[in-house]
Structure 1
Protein backbone atom coordinates (compact mmCIF):
# COMPACT_ATOMS: atom_id res chain seq x y z
CA UNK A 1 0.00 0.00 0.00
CA UNK A 2 2.84 2.39 0.86
CA UNK A 3 4.38 1.79 -2.57
CA UNK A 4 1.05 2.57 -4.21
CA UNK A 5 0.80 5.84 -2.27
CA UNK A 6 4.33 6.82 -3.32
CA UNK A 7 3.50 5.96 -6.93
CA UNK A 8 0.31 8.03 -6.80
CA UNK A 9 2.27 11.07 -5.63
CA UNK A 10 5.13 10.52 -8.06
CA UNK A 11 2.96 10.04 -11.14
CA UNK A 12 0.68 12.98 -10.29
CA UNK A 13 3.13 15.56 -9.00
CA UNK A 14 2.01 17.84 -11.84
CA UNK A 15 -1.45 18.08 -10.22
CA UNK A 16 0.03 18.73 -6.77
CA UNK A 17 2.44 21.40 -8.05
CA UNK A 18 -0.39 23.10 -9.97
CA UNK A 19 -2.60 23.08 -6.87
CA UNK A 20 0.20 24.58 -4.75
CA UNK A 21 0.69 27.32 -7.34
CA UNK A 22 -3.04 28.09 -7.43
CA UNK A 23 -3.25 28.35 -3.64
CA UNK A 24 -0.17 30.57 -3.32
CA UNK A 25 -1.20 32.89 -6.15
CA UNK A 26 -4.74 33.23 -4.79
CA UNK A 27 -3.48 34.02 -1.27
CA UNK A 28 -1.12 36.69 -2.64
CA UNK A 29 -3.89 38.20 -4.79
CA UNK A 30 -6.30 38.26 -1.86
CA UNK A 31 -3.67 39.95 0.29
CA UNK A 32 -2.74 42.71 -2.15
CA UNK A 33 -6.26 43.33 -3.45
CA UNK A 34 -7.67 43.79 0.06
CA UNK A 35 -8.04 47.62 -0.24
CA UNK A 36 -10.19 47.18 -3.35
CA UNK A 37 -12.35 44.41 -1.88
CA UNK A 38 -12.84 45.76 1.63
CA UNK A 39 -16.35 47.10 1.04
CA UNK A 40 -17.45 43.76 -0.47
CA UNK A 41 -15.81 41.18 1.78
CA UNK A 42 -15.57 42.98 5.12
CA UNK A 43 -19.31 42.53 5.85
CA UNK A 44 -18.81 38.78 5.31
CA UNK A 45 -15.87 38.69 7.75
CA UNK A 46 -17.75 40.74 10.35
CA UNK A 47 -20.85 38.57 10.04
CA UNK A 48 -18.77 35.40 10.45
CA UNK A 49 -16.95 36.84 13.47
CA UNK A 50 -20.25 37.91 15.05
CA UNK A 51 -21.78 34.45 14.57
CA UNK A 52 -18.77 32.79 16.21
CA UNK A 53 -18.82 35.23 19.14
CA UNK A 54 -22.56 34.83 19.72
CA UNK A 55 -22.49 31.06 19.41
CA UNK A 56 -24.49 30.84 16.18
CA UNK A 57 -21.46 29.08 14.75
CA UNK A 58 -19.72 26.76 17.22
CA UNK A 59 -16.08 25.89 16.75
CA UNK A 60 -16.32 22.26 17.76
CA UNK A 61 -14.25 19.57 16.09
CA UNK A 62 -17.35 18.14 14.42
CA UNK A 63 -18.50 21.50 13.03
CA UNK A 64 -15.08 22.45 11.70
CA UNK A 65 -14.27 19.02 10.31
CA UNK A 66 -17.59 18.53 8.51
CA UNK A 67 -17.53 22.05 7.09
CA UNK A 68 -14.01 21.50 5.75
CA UNK A 69 -14.95 18.00 4.62
CA UNK A 70 -17.68 19.53 2.45
CA UNK A 71 -15.11 21.82 0.84
CA UNK A 72 -12.57 19.10 0.02
CA UNK A 73 -15.35 16.78 -1.19
CA UNK A 74 -16.46 19.51 -3.57
CA UNK A 75 -12.91 19.87 -4.84
CA UNK A 76 -12.73 16.13 -5.45
CA UNK A 77 -16.15 15.57 -7.00
CA UNK A 78 -16.11 18.77 -9.08
CA UNK A 79 -12.87 17.54 -10.62
CA UNK A 80 -15.27 16.02 -13.13
CA UNK A 81 -15.56 19.55 -14.53
CA UNK A 82 -11.84 20.34 -14.01
CA UNK A 83 -12.00 24.08 -13.44
CA UNK A 84 -14.37 23.91 -10.48
CA UNK A 85 -11.78 22.21 -8.26
CA UNK A 86 -9.36 24.99 -9.13
CA UNK A 87 -11.97 27.70 -8.52
CA UNK A 88 -12.90 26.36 -5.08
CA UNK A 89 -9.24 26.18 -4.00
CA UNK A 90 -8.55 29.60 -5.48
CA UNK A 91 -11.51 31.21 -3.70
CA UNK A 92 -10.49 29.78 -0.33
CA UNK A 93 -6.91 30.94 -0.79
CA UNK A 94 -8.11 34.36 -1.92
CA UNK A 95 -10.28 34.75 1.17
CA UNK A 96 -7.41 33.73 3.48
CA UNK A 97 -5.16 36.33 1.84
CA UNK A 98 -7.83 38.98 2.22
CA UNK A 99 -8.49 38.03 5.86
CA UNK A 100 -4.79 38.28 6.77
CA UNK A 101 -4.43 41.65 5.02
CA UNK A 102 -7.54 43.10 6.68
CA UNK A 103 -6.43 42.17 10.18
CA UNK A 104 -5.22 44.89 12.54
CA UNK A 105 -2.98 42.40 14.37
CA UNK A 106 -1.00 40.49 11.74
CA UNK A 107 1.07 38.45 14.20
CA UNK A 108 -1.97 37.23 16.14
CA UNK A 109 -3.85 36.28 12.97
CA UNK A 110 -0.87 34.33 11.63
CA UNK A 111 -0.51 32.52 14.95
CA UNK A 112 -4.20 31.61 14.78
CA UNK A 113 -3.85 30.31 11.21
CA UNK A 114 -0.46 28.63 10.92
CA UNK A 115 -0.69 25.73 13.47
CA UNK A 116 -3.70 24.08 11.85
CA UNK A 117 -3.23 25.84 8.51
CA UNK A 118 -0.17 23.72 7.72
CA UNK A 119 -2.39 20.64 7.64
CA UNK A 120 -5.52 22.36 6.32
CA UNK A 121 -3.75 23.95 3.35
CA UNK A 122 -1.97 20.67 2.60
CA UNK A 123 -5.33 18.91 2.70
CA UNK A 124 -6.89 21.44 0.31
CA UNK A 125 -3.94 21.17 -2.06
CA UNK A 126 -4.26 17.37 -2.19
CA UNK A 127 -8.06 17.56 -2.51
CA UNK A 128 -7.72 19.86 -5.52
CA UNK A 129 -5.00 17.61 -6.96
CA UNK A 130 -7.25 14.57 -6.51
CA UNK A 131 -9.97 16.42 -8.42
CA UNK A 132 -7.56 17.14 -11.26
CA UNK A 133 -6.51 13.48 -11.31
CA UNK A 134 -10.17 12.47 -11.41
CA UNK A 135 -10.58 14.71 -14.45
CA UNK A 136 -7.52 13.02 -15.98
CA UNK A 137 -9.17 9.64 -15.37
CA UNK A 138 -12.30 10.76 -17.21
CA UNK A 139 -10.25 12.00 -20.18
CA UNK A 140 -8.32 8.72 -20.35
CA UNK A 141 -11.56 6.74 -20.08
CA UNK A 142 -13.14 8.67 -22.96
CA UNK A 143 -10.00 8.31 -25.09
CA UNK A 144 -9.84 4.57 -24.43
CA UNK A 145 -13.55 4.24 -25.22
CA UNK A 146 -13.13 6.22 -28.42
CA UNK A 147 -10.32 3.99 -29.66
CA UNK A 148 -11.82 0.70 -28.52
CA UNK A 149 -12.93 -1.48 -31.41
CA UNK A 150 -15.03 -3.99 -29.49
CA UNK A 151 -18.40 -4.71 -31.00
CA UNK A 152 -20.10 -4.87 -27.59
CA UNK A 153 -20.80 -1.68 -25.65
CA UNK A 154 -20.40 -3.58 -22.37
CA UNK A 155 -16.99 -4.90 -23.41
CA UNK A 156 -15.91 -1.45 -24.62
CA UNK A 157 -16.86 0.13 -21.29
CA UNK A 158 -15.05 -2.62 -19.38
CA UNK A 159 -11.91 -2.30 -21.50
CA UNK A 160 -11.91 1.49 -21.23
CA UNK A 161 -12.32 1.37 -17.47
CA UNK A 162 -9.52 -1.18 -17.13
CA UNK A 163 -7.24 1.04 -19.21
CA UNK A 164 -7.91 4.15 -17.13
CA UNK A 165 -8.82 2.84 -13.65
CA UNK A 166 -5.29 3.39 -12.34
CA UNK A 167 -5.91 7.15 -12.35
CA UNK A 168 -9.21 6.75 -10.52
CA UNK A 169 -7.50 4.67 -7.84
CA UNK A 170 -4.73 7.25 -7.48
CA UNK A 171 -7.29 10.08 -7.20
CA UNK A 172 -9.03 8.22 -4.37
CA UNK A 173 -5.74 7.49 -2.59
CA UNK A 174 -4.67 11.14 -2.63
CA UNK A 175 -8.13 12.28 -1.55
CA UNK A 176 -8.04 9.86 1.43
CA UNK A 177 -4.73 11.38 2.54
CA UNK A 178 -6.33 14.82 2.18
CA UNK A 179 -9.14 13.59 4.43
CA UNK A 180 -6.69 12.44 7.12
CA UNK A 181 -4.84 15.77 7.01
CA UNK A 182 -8.11 17.66 7.37
CA UNK A 183 -9.04 15.63 10.45
CA UNK A 184 -5.66 16.48 11.98
CA UNK A 185 -6.18 20.16 11.08
CA UNK A 186 -9.61 20.16 12.76
CA UNK A 187 -8.21 18.64 15.95
CA UNK A 188 -5.36 21.18 16.11
CA UNK A 189 -7.68 24.12 15.35
CA UNK A 190 -10.08 23.22 18.17
CA UNK A 191 -7.69 22.03 20.86
CA UNK A 192 -4.22 23.45 20.16
CA UNK A 193 -4.23 26.56 17.96
CA UNK A 194 -5.50 29.05 20.55
CA UNK A 195 -3.31 27.78 23.45
CA UNK A 196 -0.23 27.81 21.18
CA UNK A 197 -1.02 31.34 19.95
CA UNK A 198 -1.62 32.68 23.47
CA UNK A 199 1.56 31.05 24.76
CA UNK A 200 3.70 32.62 22.03
CA UNK A 201 2.02 36.03 22.37
CA UNK A 202 3.10 36.15 26.02
CA UNK A 203 6.72 36.37 24.89
CA UNK A 204 6.15 39.00 22.17
Structure 2
Protein backbone atom coordinates (compact mmCIF):
# COMPACT_ATOMS: atom_id res chain seq x y z
CA UNK A 1 0.00 0.00 0.00
CA UNK A 2 2.81 2.44 0.90
CA UNK A 3 4.43 2.24 -2.52
CA UNK A 4 1.08 2.85 -4.20
CA UNK A 5 0.42 5.90 -2.04
CA UNK A 6 3.89 7.16 -2.92
CA UNK A 7 3.11 6.72 -6.62
CA UNK A 8 -0.10 8.74 -6.08
CA UNK A 9 1.76 11.54 -4.30
CA UNK A 10 4.43 11.74 -7.02
CA UNK A 11 1.85 11.78 -9.85
CA UNK A 12 -0.19 14.40 -7.99
CA UNK A 13 2.81 16.69 -7.41
CA UNK A 14 3.90 16.39 -11.04
CA UNK A 15 0.36 17.18 -12.20
CA UNK A 16 0.18 20.22 -9.88
CA UNK A 17 3.40 21.52 -11.41
CA UNK A 18 2.06 20.89 -14.91
CA UNK A 19 -1.15 22.71 -13.97
CA UNK A 20 0.86 25.75 -12.91
CA UNK A 21 3.06 25.63 -16.02
CA UNK A 22 0.20 25.18 -18.47
CA UNK A 23 -2.45 27.27 -16.75
CA UNK A 24 -3.41 29.00 -20.00
CA UNK A 25 -4.51 25.67 -21.46
CA UNK A 26 -6.90 25.16 -18.54
CA UNK A 27 -8.27 28.74 -18.26
CA UNK A 28 -11.72 28.24 -19.85
CA UNK A 29 -12.26 25.10 -17.78
CA UNK A 30 -10.98 26.83 -14.62
CA UNK A 31 -13.21 29.86 -15.06
CA UNK A 32 -16.19 27.52 -15.25
CA UNK A 33 -15.05 25.74 -12.05
CA UNK A 34 -14.57 29.06 -10.23
CA UNK A 35 -18.01 30.29 -11.31
CA UNK A 36 -19.59 27.04 -10.10
CA UNK A 37 -17.77 27.33 -6.77
CA UNK A 38 -18.97 30.91 -6.32
CA UNK A 39 -22.56 29.87 -7.04
CA UNK A 40 -22.44 26.82 -4.73
CA UNK A 41 -20.46 28.26 -1.81
CA UNK A 42 -23.37 29.83 0.12
CA UNK A 43 -25.37 26.60 -0.01
CA UNK A 44 -22.59 24.16 0.78
CA UNK A 45 -23.68 21.54 3.30
CA UNK A 46 -21.68 18.89 5.08
CA UNK A 47 -23.71 15.95 3.82
CA UNK A 48 -23.78 16.98 0.15
CA UNK A 49 -20.06 17.78 0.21
CA UNK A 50 -19.32 14.44 1.89
CA UNK A 51 -21.47 12.54 -0.63
CA UNK A 52 -19.81 14.27 -3.58
CA UNK A 53 -16.28 13.60 -2.32
CA UNK A 54 -17.06 10.02 -1.31
CA UNK A 55 -18.62 9.30 -4.69
CA UNK A 56 -15.57 10.73 -6.48
CA UNK A 57 -13.17 8.66 -4.35
CA UNK A 58 -15.19 5.46 -4.77
CA UNK A 59 -15.15 5.99 -8.55
CA UNK A 60 -11.38 6.30 -8.37
CA UNK A 61 -11.21 3.01 -6.47
CA UNK A 62 -13.59 1.28 -8.87
CA UNK A 63 -11.33 2.47 -11.68
CA UNK A 64 -8.99 -0.28 -10.50
CA UNK A 65 -11.29 -2.80 -12.17
CA UNK A 66 -10.33 -1.22 -15.49
CA UNK A 67 -6.58 -1.37 -14.79
CA UNK A 68 -6.63 2.05 -13.05
CA UNK A 69 -6.67 4.04 -16.31
CA UNK A 70 -9.59 6.20 -15.13
CA UNK A 71 -7.98 6.51 -11.67
CA UNK A 72 -4.69 7.75 -13.11
CA UNK A 73 -6.51 10.23 -15.35
CA UNK A 74 -8.62 11.52 -12.45
CA UNK A 75 -5.62 11.95 -10.15
CA UNK A 76 -3.69 13.85 -12.83
CA UNK A 77 -6.63 16.10 -13.74
CA UNK A 78 -7.29 16.89 -10.06
CA UNK A 79 -3.66 17.84 -9.55
CA UNK A 80 -3.50 19.92 -12.73
CA UNK A 81 -6.69 21.81 -11.84
CA UNK A 82 -5.43 22.40 -8.30
CA UNK A 83 -2.10 23.67 -9.63
CA UNK A 84 -3.78 25.92 -12.17
CA UNK A 85 -6.19 27.36 -9.62
CA UNK A 86 -3.23 28.32 -7.45
CA UNK A 87 -2.22 30.91 -10.04
CA UNK A 88 -5.44 32.90 -9.64
CA UNK A 89 -4.54 34.34 -6.23
CA UNK A 90 -1.59 34.76 -3.90
CA UNK A 91 -0.09 31.55 -2.54
CA UNK A 92 -0.90 32.40 1.10
CA UNK A 93 -4.60 33.03 0.35
CA UNK A 94 -4.77 29.91 -1.79
CA UNK A 95 -3.20 27.72 0.89
CA UNK A 96 -5.42 29.13 3.64
CA UNK A 97 -8.49 28.05 1.70
CA UNK A 98 -7.11 24.64 0.71
CA UNK A 99 -4.98 23.25 3.53
CA UNK A 100 -7.43 22.95 6.47
CA UNK A 101 -9.73 20.46 4.75
CA UNK A 102 -7.40 19.58 1.88
CA UNK A 103 -5.04 17.64 4.12
CA UNK A 104 -7.78 15.10 4.75
CA UNK A 105 -9.06 15.14 1.17
CA UNK A 106 -5.59 14.66 -0.31
CA UNK A 107 -4.81 11.72 1.98
CA UNK A 108 -8.19 10.19 1.03
CA UNK A 109 -7.40 10.77 -2.66
CA UNK A 110 -4.00 9.10 -2.36
CA UNK A 111 -5.46 6.12 -0.49
CA UNK A 112 -8.26 5.84 -3.06
CA UNK A 113 -5.71 5.79 -5.86
CA UNK A 114 -3.61 3.20 -4.02
CA UNK A 115 -6.76 1.13 -3.56
CA UNK A 116 -7.43 1.31 -7.30
CA UNK A 117 -3.95 -0.09 -7.92
CA UNK A 118 -4.59 -2.87 -5.39
CA UNK A 119 -7.88 -3.69 -7.15
CA UNK A 120 -5.99 -3.80 -10.45
CA UNK A 121 -3.50 -6.20 -8.89
CA UNK A 122 -6.40 -8.36 -7.66
CA UNK A 123 -8.03 -8.34 -11.11
CA UNK A 124 -4.74 -9.43 -12.71
CA UNK A 125 -4.51 -12.31 -10.24
CA UNK A 126 -8.06 -13.39 -11.06
CA UNK A 127 -7.31 -13.22 -14.80
CA UNK A 128 -4.23 -15.37 -14.24
CA UNK A 129 -6.44 -17.83 -12.38
CA UNK A 130 -8.72 -18.06 -15.40
CA UNK A 131 -5.98 -18.67 -17.95
CA UNK A 132 -3.29 -20.69 -16.18
CA UNK A 133 -4.03 -24.30 -15.25
CA UNK A 134 -1.83 -24.32 -12.16
CA UNK A 135 -3.47 -21.11 -10.89
CA UNK A 136 -7.19 -21.30 -10.18
CA UNK A 137 -9.39 -18.30 -9.45
CA UNK A 138 -10.13 -19.73 -6.00
CA UNK A 139 -6.42 -20.18 -5.29
CA UNK A 140 -5.67 -16.64 -6.50
CA UNK A 141 -8.44 -15.21 -4.31
CA UNK A 142 -7.21 -17.18 -1.28
CA UNK A 143 -3.71 -15.81 -1.85
CA UNK A 144 -5.18 -12.32 -2.20
CA UNK A 145 -6.98 -12.19 1.14
CA UNK A 146 -4.62 -9.48 2.39
CA UNK A 147 -5.38 -7.39 -0.68
CA UNK A 148 -9.10 -7.76 -0.05
CA UNK A 149 -8.62 -6.75 3.59
CA UNK A 150 -6.58 -3.72 2.46
CA UNK A 151 -9.38 -2.67 0.09
CA UNK A 152 -12.00 -2.89 2.84
CA UNK A 153 -9.81 -1.00 5.30
CA UNK A 154 -9.09 1.69 2.69
CA UNK A 155 -12.80 2.26 2.10
CA UNK A 156 -13.35 2.73 5.84
CA UNK A 157 -10.37 5.09 6.22
CA UNK A 158 -11.31 7.15 3.15
CA UNK A 159 -14.89 7.48 4.42
CA UNK A 160 -13.68 8.75 7.81
CA UNK A 161 -11.18 11.17 6.25
CA UNK A 162 -13.80 12.60 3.91
CA UNK A 163 -16.30 13.02 6.73
CA UNK A 164 -13.72 15.02 8.69
CA UNK A 165 -12.80 17.05 5.58
CA UNK A 166 -16.45 17.87 4.89
CA UNK A 167 -17.02 19.21 8.39
CA UNK A 168 -13.82 21.26 8.26
CA UNK A 169 -14.56 22.62 4.78
CA UNK A 170 -18.11 23.56 5.72
CA UNK A 171 -17.58 25.06 9.17
CA UNK A 172 -13.90 25.92 9.62
CA UNK A 173 -11.92 26.61 6.42
CA UNK A 174 -13.57 29.88 5.38
CA UNK A 175 -13.79 31.29 8.91
CA UNK A 176 -10.17 30.36 9.66
CA UNK A 177 -8.89 31.77 6.35
CA UNK A 178 -10.84 35.03 6.73
CA UNK A 179 -9.69 35.44 10.35
CA UNK A 180 -6.04 34.89 9.49
CA UNK A 181 -6.25 37.19 6.44
CA UNK A 182 -7.81 39.92 8.59
CA UNK A 183 -4.86 39.69 11.00
CA UNK A 184 -2.08 39.73 8.38
SS at match of 2:183: coil
> Residue 198 in 1 paired to residue 183 in 2?
no
Residues in 2 aligned to 1:15 and 1:71: alpha-carbon distance in whole angstroms: 19
Residues in 2 aligned to 1:69 and 1:126: alpha-carbon distance in whole angstroms: 12
Residues in 2 aligned to 1:146 and 1:162: alpha-carbon distance in whole angstroms: 17
Residues in 2 aligned to 1:159 and 1:199: alpha-carbon distance in whole angstroms: 58
Residue 41 of structure 1 is matched in structure 2 by 29
Shift of residue 197, structure 1, vs aligned partner: 0.9
Shift of residue 203, structure 1, vs aligned partner: 2.0
CA contact (8 A) 1:142 1:160 kept: no
Larger Rg: 1
Residues in 2 aligned to 1:100 and 1:135: alpha-carbon distance in whole angstroms: 32
Aligned pairs (5 A) from 1:61-100: 61-81=46-66, 82-100=68-86
Residues in 1 aligned to 2:145 and 2:127: alpha-carbon distance in whole angstroms: 12
> Residue 17 in 1 paired to residue 2 in 2?
no
Shift of residue 181, structure 1, vs aligned partner: 0.9
Deviations 1:12-68 (A, max 9, x none): 222111011111111111122113332x22431343134225x5xx21101111111
Q: Which of residues 149, 158, 162 is equivalent to 1:182?
A: 162
Deviations 1:112-162 (A, max 9, x none): 111001111111010111011110111122223433448xxxxx4322321
Inter-CA distance 42–139: structure 2 relative to 1 (3 Å threshold): closer
Aligned pairs (5 A) from 1:86-165: 86-103=72-89, 105-149=90-134, 156-165=136-145
Residue correspondences, number: 183
Residue 60 of structure 1 is matched in structure 2 by 45
CA contact (8 A) 1:126 1:178 kept: yes
> Residue 28 in 1 paired to residue 17 in 2?
yes
Residues in 1 aligned to 2:35 and 2:144: alpha-carbon distance in whole angstroms: 46
Gaps of 5+ in 1: 1-11, 151-155
Q: TM-score, normalised by structure 1?
A: 0.82
CA contact (8 A) 2:19 2:82 kept: yes
Gaps of 5+ in 2: none
Shift of residue 165, structure 1, vs aligned partner: 3.0
Give RMSD over aligned pairs.
1.9
Residues in 1 aligned to 2:24 and 2:144: alpha-carbon distance in whole angstroms: 47
